[in-house]
Amino acid sequence: MSFLTLYFHQQQWSADMIFDIPFAENWQAIEPENRGWSKDKKYHIVDKQGKHLLLRLADISQKDKKKQEFFWMQQLFIHNIPMSEPINFGICNNGQSVYSLLNWIEGQDAINWLEQHNEQLQYEAGLQAGKHLQKIHQLAAPPQTISPRQEAENIYQEKLTRYD
């Protein structure tokens, strides 16, 4: 049984959900990724050449927001902010979803990393993160319909409701 059959059997989705994404036929493994605060459906993909990717799917109603998000990820990447490289953005699932395809970055959750390292390394990581944040703040911010604070509060509240 191929991974595609297994994957779609487990998820009970049609192949159209992702197979209208360019080069999806080159994917040999796909695993759901449930970490993070986003409501996007996220998947860790390995293609036939062994390249690891992150696929993010969102409802088509989020198209404009996700397109702008992808554009700003490209801008941050161009300015050497350490992050996943944005590869492609488009519509999939027979026009019902949008996708963002990014380079996968192997890592570990910050809380786990912090527990495993001494205060000096934690401090140095914080300084490095601050330098990256300073670079981000030097870029012009995208126009938003709601304030960043309200956006953060909305995300936090949504995350809390998942645990109720």
Q: Do 29 and 47 fall within a single domain?
A: yes
Q: State the virtual CA torsion across 85, 81, 127, 121 in degrees, nearest 10.
A: 20
- What is the DSSP secondary structure assignment for residue 117, as one 8-state letter? S
- What is the DSSP secondary structure assignment for residue 139, as one 8-state letter? S
Dihedral pair phi/psi, residue 13, rounded to 5°: -115, 165
Q: What percent of the chain has pLDDT over 70?
A: 84
Instruction: Specify the number of domains making up the chain.
Output: 2
Q: Residues 73-119: pLDDT tens digits? A: 999 999 999 999 999 999 999 899 999 999 999 988 888 999 999 99
Domain range spanning residue 149? 108-164
State mean pLDDT over 116-123: 95
pLDDT at 145 over 90: no
Strands (E) located in the chain: 27-33, 41-47, 52-59, 86-92, 97-103
Q: Do 86 and 54 fall within a single domain?
A: yes
Q: Residues 36-66: pLDDT tens digits? A: 888 899 999 999 999 999 999 999 999 999 9
Distance CA 28, CA 113 (A): 30
